[in-house]
Amino acid sequence: MLYIYLSTLDTDEEKDYFEELYLKYRQKMYGIAYSILHNEQDSEDAVHQAFLKMADNFSKILKIPRQELPAYIVIIIRNTSINIYNKNKKRSEHIVELRDDQPALDIDFFENIDYEQLTKVISQLPDNYKDVLYLRYVNDFSCKEIAKMLDISVDSVYKRIERAKSSLKEALEEGGFNE
């Protein structure tokens, strides 16, 4: 018999799912972290920090469909590792500032763009732009949630998203990114 339960979520089940994600992805996450940090201790720290962030956002992670989960895992571990790398090197993140007079670009701009052209320019974006756009518009996280996940300010998330959209718009108008 199928039962459609409209009950509250079972916390034991949540816990099991968290553990399942941990066991399933920890090696792959370590591999990504190590490819950035080249240090075992730092890579383990990155995996641990990434799971702490996932624990903080677990109610949202539960809503991520399976087909979108690999992207989320890659984004979270890659950005956590980059943050550790930058802290180790005492490098501050370089954020491209928007001009004060630059208005936010409504994503409806992309509604009537040729699909093939749009996917092509998206794939050519820098990783940090891809990550925030995916988290914001595919996973549906808020700027505040993304900021917490990526260890950057809400303002930086907003600016990065706007800069990413502006870059896409410019690339579409120019027929692609310059190689």
Partner 1 sequence: MSKNFRNALFDSLSPEYEEKLSAQTSEHSFSPEFEKKMEKLVKRRSKPYYKLINSFGKRVACVAATLLIASSVTILSVDAFRESFANMIVNVYEKFSAVSSEEPTNSPDTIEDIYEITYDLSDYTVNYEEYDEYSRNISYINNDISINFWQYTKKNLHINLNTEDAEISTVNIGEYEAMYYLDNHNYDHLIWDNGDYLILLSSNIGKDELISIAKTVKKVE
- Residue 68: closest CA among 85, 76, 129, 155: 76
Which residues within the stretch 72-111 sit at the binding site for partner 1 (CB under 8 A)? 73-75, 107-111
- Should residue 162 be labelled a site residue for partner 1 when binding is judged by CB under 8 A? no
Nearest distance from C-beta of residue 2 to partner 1, angstroms: 4
Contact 118, 172 (CB under 8 A): yes
Q: Which of 39, 44, 98, 169 binds partner 1 (CB under 8 A)?
A: 44
* Residue of 134, 141, 143, 159 that binds partner 1 (CB under 8 A): 134
Cβ–Cβ under 8 Å, residues 33 and 43 = yes
What is the C-alpha separation between 26 and 178, in angstroms, rounded? Answer: 37
Is 16 among the residues that bind partner 1 (CB under 8 A)? Answer: yes
Which of these ranges, 12-20, 81-89, 93-101, 146-154, lies near partner 1 under the rule CB under 8 A? 12-20
Cα 47 to Cα 31, 63, 64, 69, 173: the distances in Å are 10, 22, 20, 16, 40
Residue count, binding to partner 1 (CB under 8 A): 72
Q: Closest separation between CB of residue 103 and partner 1, Å?
A: 17
